[in-house]
Structure 1
Amino acid sequence: MVTIKDIAEAAEVSTATVSRVINNKGNVSAAKEKIIKQKIKELGYYKNKKKKSSQPGIKDVAQAAEVSTATVSRVINGDAYVSEEVKEKVLDSIKSLGYTPNVNARNLRKKQTNLIGVIIPDILNTVFGRTLRAIEKIADQNNLDLLIFNYASKYSRLENFFNILERRRADGLIFISGEYNKKEEELIKNFDLPLIQIFRDRNHENLTIPNLNINNYQMAYEVVNLLYKNNYRKIAFISGSPLEEHKSSRLLAYEKAMTDLDLEIKEGFVQKGEYDLDSGYQALKRIIENYSVPEAVFAANDEMALGAMRYAQDINLKIPEDIALIGIDNIDISKDSVPELSTVDQPYFEIGKKSVELLLRLIKGQKLEKDEYLFEHQILLRESV
């Protein structure tokens, strides 16, 4: 095959000069250009033009099916976590476009690195921290390395971490999350790695990605009924989620239980907190200063319940004689408070352990039997009720 170097030697010029003539770049004298073109013709040189491939790609399929490339990838790989309707749209688009998956690229991607990503909203949160310790222990037993990211609701950093995982060829991801978040959902939809979620409130979510949690709705419903059985009627609720759009399962269950028990939800008796001590303190303060004193307060986590307890004690309310309090999570300080806080215990270690086991199955290409794994909770009645 004739090369640019052959032309340069025949015309007694540099390869750069030949290249400029071939690519019509100019800056070559007319005499030299004439000689070079003559040698090109004599030697039979043909420029190797790269033809744009007419073969459709995965982006073309995604665009035609109106889904993300990650969804197309899941369909191609036989992932069970795609609805039949979406799966049919993708398969129809693949057929109509004549798309053929790149087997070599898929095989390269399947080469395991034993690296797993873990995303945690707040590493200082007791619940998330306990779960992370379980994940670390089981990962170590399976010779897995963890790349842990504490994103603190900074979604631009979260997207960047997803990109880092893909560049590092991580085998999969465990996403410790919580209540509904539209930005998180959009990122997850386009994430093309095996993925397990923990503590995701699925009440408003259309995703079918495997999730591990307790049954928050059932748990909250049981708590309200237990307070009722203990003769409490004026029951307030401190939520960590929005009070209108995208209500949490816990808030919805509180409202349903109150309705089923024919109990009135008093004006101002549902307040929003931020899952910390101060927001619980301020929530109960707003209820009492602006409305009335509840007989019982059910908080969406222990920290808000303990904050409410502190306010009740600051205004000399006796617990549980004047006001009862119950939280969720059974954090360590809940049993060290005075009085001891009633709460709901969750099996954090079992949830963390199971998340690693399920992710390993997905990495191996195995299908899971369901997309929702619910664990048992336990209501612990202590001195505050």
Structure 2
Amino acid sequence: MFRLADFNFHGRTVFLRADLNSPIEKGRIISDARFRAVLPTVKHLLEDGAKLVIGTHQSKPYKGDYTTTEEHARILSELLGQEVEYVEDIFGRYAREKIKGLEPGEAIILENLRFAAEEIKYKPLEECERTFFVRKLAPLIDYVVNDAFAAAHRSQPSLVGFARLKPMAMGFLMEREIKALTRAYGTDERPRVYVLGGAKVEDSLRVAENVLRNGKADLILTGGLVGHVFTLAKGFYLGDSNIEFMERIGLLGLVDRAEKILDDFYPYVRTPVDFAIDYKGERLEIDLLSDEKRLFDEHPILDIGSRTVEKYGDILKGARVIVANGPMGVFEREEFALGTVGVFKAIGESSGFSVVGGGHSIASIYRYNITGISHISTGGGAMLSFFSGEKLPVLEALRVSYERFKDGA
């Protein structure tokens, strides 16, 4: 795959596909983490004299944080110390004129790419290539740089559509992500421990199936809703309130699949031995084997318990490789952050190589100032897809582009 160092961008028009999709509250972006992650690539291109066209998406149609990229332009301008002009268009005449008018070292950011209907659907590279978005912009672009690792598991026009038309290179963030994830997945160092939490249960089951079947993991620790599903699969009842909630969000149908994983790979999947609930306004920890578990009928589980944190911590501190995705509970409530913070602190204290990803995981790491983690991935879904053994469309597009243009690089 092409890297930034493979090209001289001076005076050339470069389309940089970034992923600046950020959390928004009351109409304002509340985290600039993804902006800072892509900043080295943006600076390199501008310092190299590129005419820079930045594209990103923000959320999905009809969601509360689906908005324009006007504030994205403001934040990026502040971080760079130079103007990144917001262009209220994507591939129409106004956008194309703005692209044509760029001077070396100048940058613009296009409107939210998902305002274009073509960008919503997942289509094969060949179909993405034929979209209006690609056909309108390709004649104006010399190079494409893809630094949107968090969207690498998606096949959409802005992400893969230029691959056979223009040389496409990895940005610094993309290169760093691929290097870290490849090291964690391909290493022979042992023990290799995966921590699967959060709410992306089906994705986590795919990861568990793949890494256990292919000998990439020695142990899997579970928490969050992933832990709930595996606990049910082991035959423990988690109470009426928790069962009803899991049924409502469609998780009960995954219990049989989790049971199959346990049948095939027992005892390599560990589940919590105790949980925490909100009982009369306070955190109450309940052992899974105690009579107090009757309280699960009326009180939802909000975290793993202290004994589980201790057991997981002992395992993690001795691990040589750790891959973690998703929190252990509702960490947004401080009294129920104990599990997530305890597990992530243990990962940070381990001398092994660690990769942690997922939006909620990252949020908890920054919120509670957890240090020592080797690599914090910007992509939750993309990271899970990678460790599931799936081919990521953006990485495949980068390979296609390399094969097409390598002789002229």
Q: TM-score, normalised by structure 2?
A: 0.35
Larger RCO, structure (CA 8 Å, separation 6 or more):
2
More strand by share: 2
Structure label with greater radius of gyration? 1
Q: TM-score, normalised by structure 1?
A: 0.36
